[in-house]
Structure 1
Amino acid sequence: MQKFDEIRPYYDSEINKAIQKVLHHPMLKSLMNFSFPDVDDEVWKAQLLKTHSIRDFQCNFIYQSVQKVLEKSSEGLSTSGFEHLEPNTSYLFVSNHRDILLDTTLLNATLFEHDLVMTASAIGDNLVKQPFLNVLAKLNRNFLVQRGLGPREMLQSSKTLSEYINQLLLHENRSVWIAQREGRTKDGNDATNPGVLKMLGMASDEQNLMDYFKKIKIVPVSISYEYDPTDALKMPQLLAEANNEVYVKQENEDFMTILSGALGPKKRIFIHIGKVLDTEIDTIIAENDNVNKQIQALAQAIDDSILQSYKLWPTNYIAYDILHKTDKYSHLYTESEKAVFERRLEKRIDAENPIALQGLLAMYANPVVNKLKYTHELKD
């Protein structure tokens, strides 16, 4: 298993040593003081030193951090679909992606509450350049997706990644979370990149690739936040793209985004777990004999599940109405909710910049547009 050493999280046998390495790091102190505000530092340090597995670290520490995030920066998390999952069973969760850390930690907290197998989760190695964040990611069962490689290195990296995901799902009975495309959705348009499916299929030992996708139990996941705490932070990249400019991230930008995602106000959050794509794959096999068309159809099946189950909030309807200069969905929000949304717009972006205004409104409005593809008239 040495070939996975560059990308894998810690083995349980490595956990305690890794904790000792960061025990006195100021960022760990900040995390623990946030999570356990009434506990003396020496107490949580002693508990951490008794930790010898990822599960213990996640259940005893990270789970509490998630509860504090929900308590301090949201109006609660609601979920549906978890009842369709079987205990002691691994799944490949393919998810839309809004927040660097929260998407996966909220999913895992809910899997834990339902006594289901928690995930190993893909994270871009560009997000964990800081040594402390790298250790924290590996303590939390994240594995690395290597970014910025040349074509030949990228091919080899994709193959290794595919084999590692295969190892987790089929040999270690470990669920896996992966985003439906590289990076977070910045414009509210959730769409599965067929390239992600091609990467996953590189480890297939089946004659028919679709049979492999049935074997690894693909489960689409839809997550939505009433307010995206990082919405304004996504604007510089959208503005650069609108001007056909190459966007270059600021130093520490990813870290600031992680902090904003965790601590910024979100109001309500919703996660829906779709059903395992099984009969859908049978239909794809029956209707397509070309592998590329099959992969495209599977990407569409994932999109159909995610978009149909995406929870729309008043913020989405408000943004749609403002953007399209209509009151079509005014029955789905109050004047007070609209006023709060407009004040937030004024605070977070330069409302005089039409591209910025349009970009932020579209971020919230596009999920409504996408949902309209599945229903002619949205209901309350």
Structure 2
Amino acid sequence: MEITTEFDEIRPYNSEELPQIYEELIADPAFQNAIAYAIPGVPFEAVANKMRSCKTSLEFQKAFSAEFLWGIARKHTDGLTFDNSALTNQNLSYTYISNHRDIILDSGFLSILLLDQGKSTVEIAIGDNLLIYPWIKKLVRVNKSFIVQRGLSMRQMLESSARMSRYMHYAISEKKESIWIAQREGRAKDSNDRTQDSVLKMLAMGGEGDIIERLKSLNIAPLSISYEYDPCDYLKAKEFQLKRDIEGYKKSTQDDLKNMETGLFGFKGKVHFQTAPCLNEKLKQLDSSLPKCELFTQISTVIDKEIYRNYKLYPGNYVAHDLLSGENKFADQYTTEEKNRFEEYIANQLEKIDLPNKDIPYLKEKLLIMYANPLINSLVANQCD
């Protein structure tokens, strides 16, 4: 495989770089504190020695990340399931494009689910706005992440996007690594998942041929991620009210940390990952001579439909829809006990919102919309079949 230096600033570390990065992490007091929090009761020297024994990023993930993430799944979910049977060629490297629910766990759970099937983990696209400490940036690159640069000027953004696209094509075609990327920048706060055309435009900057050929070479696999409960739902509802009430409101770094911690250690109920077939056959059917903007919009719509069709719907999705509409249209999809449990859950989440001028009806509606939207989108997508 040809080694290129073009991607050194953003790519995951290679095996030759790991020993030096391990030593830098081990010497960092902030990393030491993070390890003491994440792996309590284990001497740091034991962790350091185990790190040093990992010769590749995959070995590191098997030794640390997988154990940590399965621990999260055992303690904070009611089960983690995965169906990727729609991908008939299991030997291909895929670009998993998914809806985005959790900052860390969407890609993390996918990786351990793939490991559980005897496959390799994915390389992960992660925004540098989340890499608030030097040790975090190093750790995610050890953990097979590549960096999406944010907050750039328009010209810098174009250059950065083109380089990242070239890297993703390189990872798929040369490194034979699968990739995970969210369908949009940031999470859909109301769970109304939509693929941003800008993500597809970035993907099509690299590769060769026309837009369709470039996207086909990435082996795009739409991935639906379904959490029964979103532990960050109350934080998202709070943000909705703050944005409504305070002009120009923006989350702080502390808010991002709170979201990450809550997403990791909050209760998620059942969690399911479902892949659609590789998009290549559907891409072949599109008219590549269309104007670019129209073509990208069509492709986004195809991806959205695949994601919607493969949601795993839970009783709470149906209850939320009925509570919003004031009807009992989906009463056959849940029991009285399940309805009571979901309403109690919503009441408890509302209690967690700490605002001086708390608008309960508004906040409750926002929470219910988060759970109703996957059902609404699923119904529309399946009616179109």
TM-score normalised by length of structure 2: 0.91
SS of the aligned residue for 2:237 comes to helix
* Partner in structure 2 of residue 216 of structure 1: 218
> Identity across aligned pairs (percent)?
33
Partner Cα distance (1:352, 1:341) in 2: 20
Partner Cα distance (1:85, 1:55) in 2: 24
1:204-353 pair list within 5 angstroms: 204-206=207-209, 208-243=210-245, 245-285=247-287, 289-349=290-350, 352-353=359-360
* Partner in structure 1 of residue 378 of structure 2: 371
1:331-350: per-residue Cα shift (whole Å, max 9, x none)? 22222222222222222226
Does 1:200 find its partner at 2:207?
Answer: no
Partner Cα distance (1:326, 1:319) in 2: 11
Where in structure 1 are there 5+ consecutive unaligned residues?
A: none
1:87, 1:117 within 8 Å by CA — same for their partners in 2?
Answer: no
TM-score normalised by length of structure 1: 0.92
Q: Which amino acid aligns with 2:133?
A: Q
1:157-190: per-residue Cα shift (whole Å, max 9, x none)? 1111111111111111111111101001110111
Partner Cα distance (2:246, 2:132) in 1: 28
1:91, 1:216 within 8 Å by CA — same for their partners in 2?
Answer: yes
Bigger mean CA deviation after superposition, 45-54 or 217-226: 45-54
Q: Which amino acid aligns with 2:61?
A: Q
Partner Cα distance (1:82, 1:109) in 2: 16
Bigger mean CA deviation after superposition, 224-233 or 3-12: 3-12
Shift of 1:235: 1.9
1:109 to 109, 112, 130: 112
Shift of 1:88: 4.2
SS of the aligned residue for 1:267 comes to coil
SS of the aligned residue for 2:64 comes to helix
1:236-292: per-residue Cα shift (whole Å, max 9, x none)? 332244458323112322122111111100010000011111221111137x63332
1:88, 1:116 within 8 Å by CA — same for their partners in 2?
Answer: no
Does 1:153 find its partner at 2:166?
Answer: no
1:223, 1:272 within 8 Å by CA — same for their partners in 2?
Answer: yes
1:90-111: per-residue Cα shift (whole Å, max 9, x none)? 1111111000010001111111
Shift of 1:141: 0.9
Bigger mean CA deviation after superposition, 112-121 or 71-80: 112-121
2:227, 2:268 within 8 Å by CA — same for their partners in 1?
Answer: yes
Bigger mean CA deviation after superposition, 132-141 or 192-201: 132-141
SS of the aligned residue for 1:147 comes to coil
* Partner in structure 2 of residue 177 of structure 1: 180
Count of equivalent residues: 371
Partner Cα distance (1:146, 1:41) in 2: 32
1:126, 1:147 within 8 Å by CA — same for their partners in 2?
Answer: yes
Where in structure 2 are there 5+ consecutive unaligned residues?
A: none
SS of the aligned residue for 1:3 comes to coil
